[in-house]
Structure 1
């Protein structure tokens, strides 16, 4: 019998733990499988989060151009699917990522203390 895989909700939660720990490449590895398996708007959610995480990965390695470009792809992709409920506050992530991307465009380096987190939708203030 084949090995069963956790449902996409569990794998998204595992990816969020890595994202929130600043382990953006590990987050990418988990989300890459997820977005490739999905169809429709949920696919864009996973890919958008993945791209935002990779934007931060580039920023942490002082690749400002790569960070700005990939972050832009992620923000654009997620902005089109903010109404998709995956249990995380996508609007907050887009807002925080957009803020950081603008700072990088202005030449301000990444402030690791301000790196956004994937917040549960139930955590909305």
Structure 2
């Protein structure tokens, strides 16, 4: 069973409440020890990267997505009841799209990400999937 705070963070992340997710994960991160500490930090950095994306901060999004991916790569395919592999794949796809389009096209990327008819053309925002034990 996942800790209640982690379930809350997953729900916040999946509802695209990235700032709230950051706060929840930060509390978990501060109270944990390795290897869990780095795992929480990686998830936190992905959430902050998505928060920067929402605020049209291309540089912040690219940096934090990259940092989070580096940390989470070591926890695949699953860790602590989380499907890390799917989170990493979704985040990598988003990061690659941002890197290929650059900051000058960020508003167009965001418009397409938010348009339902664009599914399949651009990556979707990452989701955190939990694994039932």
| TM-score, normalisation: structure 1 | 0.85
Paired position in structure 1 for 2:45: 51
CA distance in 1, matches of 2:61, 2:100: 13
Number of residues of Structure 1 aligned to a counterpart in Structure 2: 116
CA distance in 1, matches of 2:77, 2:126: 20
RMSD: 1.8
Residue segments in structure 1 that go unaligned for 5+ positions in a row: 1-7
Contact 2:78 2:85 in 1 (8 A): no
Task: Spell out the pairing of 1:22-61 with structure 2 (5 A cutoff).
Answer: 22-61=16-55
CA distance in 2, matches of 1:84, 1:92: 9
Displacement after TM superposition at 1:86 (Å): 1.2
CA distance in 1, matches of 2:72, 2:46: 9
What does the per-residue CA deviation read over 1:102-125, in whole Å, with 9 as the maximum and x for residues that have no partner? Answer: 000111624146112111124xxx
